[in-house]
Each structure stands twice: as C-alpha cells, then as structure tokens.
C-alpha cells in the first residue's frame, strides 16, 4: 500500500495523489473509508509538486488496487 502511495506522490505530488484517491472512490475502486485512510497516510509524504496523472498512471493504480484486493 505504501509503495502505491509513494508511486502516486512521486508522479503527481501529494495533492494530485489525493485527487486520484477521490477519483478511485468515485469509480468504486475504493470505499470511502479506504480513501480516507489512504489520504491520511499521504500526510507522511513530502508535498512535492508533480505532473498530472495520465491513463497509464491510473492503469498502474488499478493493478495496485487489484493486488491489495486479492490480499483480503
């Protein structure tokens, strides 16, 4: 999970990572409680600015989500 958040922040910065989590909740990849928990972890990362997340980044995120779901 932390690897995934590190990936999102590394590409898009903390704010865009937070926006991505909200998007993933909107398309039901995450529950609201999971989004909130992950967003809280984002505070531990440096607030570096980043690039806009593109389709490839979201596809990679889906792979992370699928792996995490398989662990449940």
- Is the confidence at residue 47, as pLDDT, over 80? no
The whole-angstrom separation of Cα 47 and Cα 12 is 10
Q: Domain tally for the chain? A: 1
What is the domain range of residue 26?
A: 2-70
Q: Give mean pLDDT, residues 31-54.
A: 91
- Is the confidence at residue 72, as pLDDT, over 80? no
Q: How confident is the model at residue 4 (pLDDT cuts 50, 70, 90)?
A: very high
Cα–Cα distances in Å, from 31 out to 10, 22, 46? 23, 10, 25
- Is the confidence at residue 48, as pLDDT, over 80? no
- Is the confidence at residue 71, as pLDDT, over 90? no
pTM of the model: 0.90
């Amino acid at each position: 999970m932390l690897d995934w958040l590190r990936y999102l922040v590394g590409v898009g910065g903390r704010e865009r990572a937070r926006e991505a989590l909200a998007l993933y909740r909107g398309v039901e990849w995450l529950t609201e409680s999971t989004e909130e928990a992950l967003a809280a972890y984002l505070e531990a990362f440096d607030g570096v600015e980043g690039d806009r997340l593109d389709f490839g980044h979201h596809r990679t995120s889906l792979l992370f989500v699928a792996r995490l779901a398989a662990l449940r």
